[in-house]
């Protein structure tokens, strides 16, 4: 048992996150997302966290992962089909969690653009989230000991 590790992160999830490098993406997706097919096509690691919601998984991941501060955006959510300005409940929770973690707000991507970017992810974490649009992509940043 390790201290200070969010308990919902399984050994597979921890290994996947620890294996990521700067610029790698992790997709935290809902139960409806075609995670198995996307991972099979792209060769991404797939980790199941069926007992967690997507916001719970995001909160746990943000405790361990620094987002990319060099890229214009380091987090993306999926736009609502037919209403790109709508903010689903899960996305509102994502925004609050990113703010609490001191991260920039997430940008939005059209549905198929989100799928395409998810296919390039290093790691896909599928949750048991049943609300629509409970999907977010994160780009890993750098942890550094120097001041610059």
Residues with catalytic annotation? 22, 68, 115
List residues bridging with 137 in a β-sheet. 27, 76
Start-to-end Cα distance in the chain? 35
Candidates 25, 94, 108, 101; CA nearest to 57 is 94
Cα 98 from Cα 67, distance rounded (Å): 10
Candidates 35, 129, 47; CA nearest to 88 is 129
Cα 98 from Cα 47, distance rounded (Å): 22
């Amino acid at each position: 048992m390790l201290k200070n590790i969010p308990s919902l992160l399984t050994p597979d999830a921890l290994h996947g996150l620890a294996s990521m490098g700067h610029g790698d993406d992790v997709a935290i997706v809902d139960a409806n997302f075609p995670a198995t097919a996307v991972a099979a096509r792209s060769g991404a690691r797939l980790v199941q966290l069926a007992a967690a919601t997507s916001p719970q998984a995001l909160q746990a991941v943000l405790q361990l992962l620094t987002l990319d501060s060099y890229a214009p955006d380091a987090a993306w959510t999926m736009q609502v089909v037919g209403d790109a300005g709508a903010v689903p409940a899960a996305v509102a929770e994502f925004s609050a969690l990113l703010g609490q973690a001191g991260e920039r707000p997430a940008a939005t991507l059209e549905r198929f653009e989100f799928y395409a970017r998810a296919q390039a992810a290093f790691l896909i974490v599928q949750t048991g989230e049943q609300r629509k649009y409970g999907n977010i992509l994160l780009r890993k940043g750098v942890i550094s000991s120097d001041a610059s």
